[in-house]
Amino acid sequence: MASFCPTTPQSLFSTSFQNTSRFPHPTFQPHHSLLSLHSSHFFRKSVGLLWGRNSPTFKIHSSLTDFTVDVAVEEKKLPKGETWSVHKFGGTCVGSSARINNVADVIINDDSERKLVVVSAMSKVTDMMYDLIHKAQSQDKSYISALDAVEEKHTLTALELFDGDDLTTFLANLHQDIRNLKAMLQAMDIAGHATESFTDLVVGHGELWSAQILSYAIKKKGIDCKWMDTREVLIVNPTSADQVDPDYLESERRLNKWYSRNPSKVIIATGFIASTHQNIPTTLKRDGSDFSAAIMGALFRARQVTIWTDVDGVYSADPRKVSDAVILKTLSYREASEMSYFGANVLHPRTISPVIRYGIPVIIRNIFNTSAPGTKVCHPSTTENEDKKILINYVKGFTTIDNLALVNVEGTGMAGVPGTASTIFRAVKEVGANVIMISQASSEHSICFAVPEKEVKAVAEALQSMFQNALYAGRLSQVAVIPNCSILAAVGQKMASTPGVSATLFNALAKANINILAIAQGCSEYNVSVVLKREDSIKALRAVHSRFYNSNTTIAMGIIGPGLIGSTLIDQLRDQAATLKEESNIDLRVMGIMGSKSMLLDDSGIDLVKWSEIREEKGEVTDLEKFVQHVHGNHFIPNTVLVDCTADSGVASHYNDWLRKGIHVITPNKKANSGPLNEYLRLRVLQRQSYTHYFYEATVGAGLPIISTLRGLLETGDKILQIEGIFSGTLSYIFNNFKDGRVFSEVVAEAKEAGYTEPDPRDDLSGTDVARKVIILARESGLKLELSDVPVENLVPEQLASASVQDFLQNLPKFDKEISKRQEEADTAGEVLRYVGVVDVANEKGSVELRRYKKDHPFAQLSGSDNIIAFTTRRYRDQPLIVRGPGAGAQVTAGGVFSDILRLASYLGAPS
């Protein structure tokens, strides 16, 4: 049996070492003895690398007399091609005995003629092995107990899966491996460090053990199989970039040799580990098992490679960040590579390269949901138009990379100077930093690039040193660092050559009020990447995914003022929410409801059926700042709207700040648009300069389309001459019923009793509300008027202006005579009285007054509380454009607000 012992006086290892873990049978064939020698060679090489020149001298004692040599062994030729299917199972898939049994069943149920199975170490084992090395190097003696825990984990798993000679053999080999590992770790402890090769030798044991366990589990089920230590087959060349490149010719030669001695239709192979040409153990680096499977697939010319994981396939975006991400049926090789590079949990970034040459498809499937078909990665010709749900099917997915910093090297002296970029990136290379993305304007005035945040300090210092003279001379103006960045990448086959893709991407980000710091788009037409602030990363991801996938346009809503109009709106939202989500892909989530004294907040959306009771139980004291932060601070929802259903000027004063923060505002509150002119103009400028929306249709005419009609006329080039209308539902009701000998005070009392007036009828009779509507329409028409510029005919007797409501109603009959006289005069002339607001655009003025109209005039034809507005324009000069309908009431006003909410959703990407 091969062994090696130190011959130095102070031997590090008092025991001989045997590596028998790779031999599934206790009775070894001749090549097994050679393999034992080979394994000893691995160990001796690595110890030598650990100790350097002062390493102990090791001798390998081997006797072939222990084995019967059969020189007549018949070599079997490896059959390559379609008969083979390759499966790869990650650590989660083989994380316990039950899961290993499940994997064995999956392999047995695969109807392929021949199967190669690549396995990772059991879940967490690789991390445990690296931790052992860290503790040993740190001279932390707890590595001994930690290694015992590793042994116990595999022992218990084996005891639960198989028995008899197989169990005896495995446990003996495992125990011997643990003894060897303890000696290796002791060497690290003494030396205080370990080389990369020595580390690779240690951590690779996890795959050796899991491969053996799985092979025995399959044998227990009656299927003959062999297991392969891929270090005997897979040969790689280390590169300068902490990577390895497979040597396919040498690997193929060794594979043929291995198979000739181990013919089998089921082979269990170790993932992650390999050897150099010098037979030194190495690895394919972190997450390299996928890469192993792809390489083996190429060596076997397999029909397909299936990567088994714990998700149903490749998602269009990270489902932890985008709840409505969808499984992609297919991806091209290039799309999968791009998504892997930019952080998507798809495949190891290098997995694709070995299979492309032979056109071997890679399928990502869920071991815990074998009914799911998964995602197929293959040549582009088979991927076109299969994902029917995609709005623009050239965009397949969106990924993000976080924890980056943007470095910007800028200066007029850079333009046209050869070698500047080369110098910049030479400095970056010297500090070992990884450049994730580069963006440069054609003017060459600046170059910016993204690097991992943990590396940016070294990069900035290197550039400052490299360009010290240029900075001092002014040829370079700055080397600036923008921290806390993320990259959002949109990936899709030939999407850059499809008109409108980039525009749609940037438009979605703009509408979510997200600023782009840098852009990169390669001529490969597979990727558009943008750099943005890290706090915007999830919000941006949801915004673009929603736009391209026609998925739910989700809006976080905060409703301020759950009074008559606000509570009615909540009821309408409750009744319509399910229909909107199902039929229009609009997901309206009310995250907060705030009254004057208490407010209700919820992170996922308030139950609109029981909101009032919940507020009574869980409500908290009203705090407007906290309310806004809660509704807007949810980065999982890209769009936020605050709906102000109050008549409060204090709430309206915050609109400007909310719009600047990217919060949309919808309101029936007239105070902002009829308040000080300069504040109104600031709002409108802000609205026009950003993608933040401010809708206020219900401020004039409740649910009637007054504002939108006026804007439509102006935007199509018409010229407004005059707007005249009955804008108050209360005063419309009063004057529609002030006839046939009835007295004014009686009709007012009736209107109050019916609920048409404000609690204090003087708020209606004063005409102030109508004046505000006149100001709003005047300003929409381009007039710069203040509220004080509009003369108002006040119907409240001056003597009753300061009386209580009760006194006002009791004393109002004393003043009926004067207004009754005016009504009688109008009636005698065949006319009626109507309380109207007028915007005289031609003369740049407005007014609110009681006017007389002929009985055949449209204003005389009203009934109930209807409003009517007449637009006299250049196009509608002889016959004004009339808008008529209910202009008051909670239902129609709330409906007008609801309509604005849906209009906002349409602007944000919902289907129209």
Whose tokens are 């007039």? That residue is: 783
* 3-state secondary structure labels for all residues of 261-313: HCCCCEEEEECCEEECCCCCEEECCCCCHHHHHHHHHHHHCCCCEEEEECCCC
Structure tokens at 507: 């438009």
Assigned token pair, 857: 């005039």
Check if the beta carbon of residue 425 is closer than 8 Å to that of residue 522.
no
Sheet containing 694-695: order of strands: 620-621, 598-601, 586-594, 553-560, 639-644, 664-666, 694-695
d(CA 897, CA 574): 14
Backbone conformation region of residue 803, classed left if phi is above 0, alpha if psi is from -120 to 50, else beta:
beta
Contact 215, 25 (CB under 8 A): no
**Which one of 182, 376, 671, 773 is the catalytic residue?**
773
Q: Is 773 a catalytic residue?
A: yes
In angstroms, rounded to a whole number, what is the distance separating the alpha carbons of residues 551 and 315?
A: 14
Q: State the alpha helices, DSSP H only, in 518-610.
A: 537-549, 564-584
Contacts of 526 (CB under 8 A, 6+ apart): 334, 335, 338, 491, 492, 493, 494, 495, 496
Helices of type H across 585-676: 611-618, 624-632, 649-652, 655-660, 671-674
User: CB 413: neighbour CB atoms within 10 A?
Assistant: 17
| Residue 86 bridge partners (DSSP) | 116, 305
Indicate the pairing of strand 330-332 with strand 362-366: unpaired
Cβ contact 655:682 at 8 Å? no
Radius of gyration of the chain measured on its C-alpha atoms: 39
Going from the C-alpha of 58 to that of each of 45, 528, 710, 811, the distances in angstroms are 10, 56, 94, 117
Question: In angstroms, how far is CA 336 from the centroid of its own chain?
Answer: 18
**Residue bearing tokens 């394994």:** 39
Q: Is 33 helix (H, G, I), strand (E, B) or coil?
A: helix
Q: Please give the C-alpha separations between residue 594 and each of 461, 574, 832, in angstroms, as whole numbers.
A: 51, 17, 44
Q: Which of these, 909, 899, 910, 904, lies nearest to 664 by C-alpha position?
A: 904
For residues 720 and 875, give the distance between their C-alpha atoms in angstroms, rounded to a whole number. Answer: 9
Tell me how far apart the alpha carbons of residues 762 and 768 are, in angstroms, rounded to a whole number: 10
**What does the block give as tokens for 580?**
């909107």
CA distance 495 to 360: 24
**Pick from 22, 384, 389: nearest CA to 215:** 22
For residue 629, what are the CA distances in angstroms to 224, 357, 533, 686?
A: 63, 53, 18, 21
| Integer Cα distance of 94 and 504 in angstroms | 43
Ordered DSSP codes for 436-472: -EEEE-TT-SEEEEEEEGGGHHHHHHHHHHHTHHHHH
* C-alpha span between 802 and 688 (Å, rounded): 42
Contact indicator for 884, 868 with CB cutoff of 8 Å: yes
Catalytic residues: 773
